[in-house]
């Protein structure tokens, strides 16, 4: 195999790993999976996400804590562009994030005692998100946000993870929740009992 082919295969593999990490980030948001989320970031990673600007771990732990207090979410990443630069990769993607928010105020439990606080909660920003501006508390609502993820990845050894995470919105809208076809029999779960984690001898569909 010539050097150009080897280089091409390596680039394809690197791009795939970088892109797949972004999709794992989205899964971690929706399944409230702290272990998976942690695997997407290097320990010294930073995040600039909305009003938050600091260590990435403070961001994602606070984000999972907040998301656990709403009914459901779905995060999408689209139009993913990856530019490789040695052991760095620059990634841009358009995101859409849907959130189902029940009527009434969103009551946030103390971060420090929650399941997403982690071992260093005392030295971490205790609250990243405390609500959705614009929520009409008289209704169940869907909050839909659109914007971009701009991430810088770094390869350490054979593994790519996010080193710098930037997320910003470009437009958003709220709408009253409509359940014309309620998902009564949905298998979706916000933990590792979700079908995405089924492996081995699991009886599918049960």
Nearest residue to 162 via CA among 97, 95, 88: 88
Q: How much is the average pLDDT of 97-123?
A: 82
DSSP string, the chain: --HHHHHHHHHHHHHHHHHHHHHHHHHHHHHT-HHHHHTTEEEEEEEEETTEEEEHHHHHHHHHHHHTTSSEEEEEEEEEEEEEETTEEEEEEEEEEEEEE-SS---PPPSTTSTTS-TTGGGS-S-S----TT--TTS-EEEEEEEEEEEEEEEETTEEEEEEEEEEEEEEEEEE---SS--TT----SSTTSGGG--TT--TT-
pLDDT tens figures, 64-80: 999 999 999 999 999 99
- Is residue 17, in this structure, part of any structural domain at all? yes
Specify the CATH number for the domain of residue 112: 3.10.450.50
* CB of 148 closer than 8 Å to CB of 168: yes
How many Å apart are CA 90 and CA 11, to the nearest integer?
A: 13
C-alpha span between 73 and 142 (Å, rounded): 9
Q: What is the pLDDT of residue 70?
A: 93
Range(s) of the domain holding residue 22: 11-197
**pLDDT score of 39 more than 90:** yes
What is the separation of C-alpha 107 from the centre of its chain, rounded to a whole number of angstroms? Answer: 21
Bigger pLDDT: 25 vs 108: 25
Task: Pick the range with the lowest mean pLDDT from 6-15, 20-29, 128-137, 138-147.
Answer: 128-137
Give the count of domains, the chain.
1
The Cα 55–Cα 44 span in angstroms is: 7
In a domain, 2, yes or no: no
- C-alpha 67/C-alpha 37 separation (Å) is 13
What predicted TM-score, i.e. pTM, was given to this entire model?
A: 0.91
In a domain, 4, yes or no: no
Strands 141-156, 88-101: pairing is antiparallel
* 105 found inside a domain: yes
Q: Is 77 among the domain residues?
A: yes
Examine residue 205 and state whether it is found in any structural domain, yes or no. Answer: no
Report how far apart the first and last C-alpha atoms of the chain are (Å, whole number): 47
Give domain status of residue 166, yes or no.
yes
| Segment of 150-154, 169-173, 176-180 carrying the highest mean pLDDT | 150-154
* Angle made by CA atoms 168, 59, 157, in degrees to the nearest 5: 95
Please indicate, yes or no, if residue 206 is contained in any of the structural domains: no
């Amino acid at each position: 195999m010539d050097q150009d082919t080897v280089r091409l295969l390596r680039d394809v593999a690197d791009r795939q790993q970088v892109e797949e990490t972004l999709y794992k980030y989205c899964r971690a948001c929706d399944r409230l999976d702290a272990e998976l989320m942690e695997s997407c970031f290097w320990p010294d990673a930073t995040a600039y996400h909305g009003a938050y600007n600091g260590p990435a771990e403070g961001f994602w732990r606070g984000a999972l804590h907040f998301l656990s207090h709403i009914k459901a979410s779905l995060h999408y990443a689209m139009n993913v562009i990856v530019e490789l630069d040695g052991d760095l990769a620059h990634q841009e993607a358009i995101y859409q994030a849907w959130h189902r928010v029940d009527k009434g105020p969103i009551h946030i439990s103390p971060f420090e005692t929650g399941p997403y606080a982690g071992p260093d909660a005392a030295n971490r920003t205790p609250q990243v998100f405390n609500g959705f501006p614009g929520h009409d508390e008289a209704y169940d609502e869907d909050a839909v946000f659109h914007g971009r993820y701009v991430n810088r990845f770094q390869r350490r050894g054979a593994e790519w993870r996010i080193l710098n995470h930037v997320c910003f919105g470009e437009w958003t809208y709220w709408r009253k929740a409509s359940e014309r076809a309620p998902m009564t029999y949905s298998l979706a779960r916000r933990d590792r009992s979700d079908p995405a984690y089924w492996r081995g001898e699991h009886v599918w569909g049960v």
